[in-house]
Amino acid sequence: MAENREIAQQYKKKWKALANWLKNSTGYKVGGVAKEGSRRDGTFTSKSDLDVDFWISESYNKQQVYDDIIPKLRKSFPNSQVQKGSSKNVLKFSYKGKKTDIVLLPKKEFIEKVKKYKKDVI
C-alpha cells in the first residue's frame, strides 16, 4: 500500500461522491453500489484505479444505460473524461486525474461479488 495519505483521501472522497451520484442522479433505480478491486481489499498501489460496480433494480439494456449516463457524468463532473472501454462492458471515468472503472452488473452477480465484503457497499 505504497500511497500517500492525501491521495488515498482523494480516492475515498471520489468513491463517496460517485457512489452517491450513481444512486441518486442517473435516473435509474440503482439497487446498490460497491467499491471493488484493490482499493476495496487494501492491496492497492499508487497506480491503482478505483473500481465501482452497481446494479439496477429495473429492466435495462446495459449499452443503453451506459449511453445514457455518459453525458450525465460529464455534466455532473465538469472536465471529466468518460467513455466505454474496449470491451464495452465498462465505463472508463477519469476525474481530477483519478481513474475509475464503472461496471453495471446483474443483481445476482453484484450480490455474489459483495457477499464477503460488507464495507464499501451503498
Answer yes or no: is 121 within a domain. no
Tally of structural domains, the chain: 1
CA triple 120-121-122, angle to 5 deg: 120
Asked if pLDDT for residue 93 goes beyond 60, the answer is yes
Answer yes or no: is 94 within a domain. yes
In terms of residue numbers, what domain contains 70? 5-114
Answer yes or no: is 90 within a domain. yes
Domain containing 106 — which CATH number?
Answer: 3.30.460.10
Asked if pLDDT for residue 45 goes beyond 70, the answer is no
Answer yes or no: is 119 within a domain. no
- In the chain, pLDDT over 90 holds for what percent of residues? 56
Answer yes or no: is 120 within a domain. no
Answer yes or no: is 63 within a domain. yes
* Confidence class for position 3, pLDDT limits 50, 70, 90: low
What's the confidence (pLDDT) of residue 1? 45
pLDDT (mean) for 92-107: 91
Answer yes or no: is 60 within a domain. yes
- 47-91 tens-digit pLDDT: 667 889 999 999 999 999 999 999 999 999 999 999 999 888 999
* Confidence class for position 119, pLDDT limits 50, 70, 90: low
Asked if pLDDT for residue 2 goes beyond 60, the answer is no
Answer yes or no: is 37 within a domain. yes
What's the confidence (pLDDT) of residue 120? 64
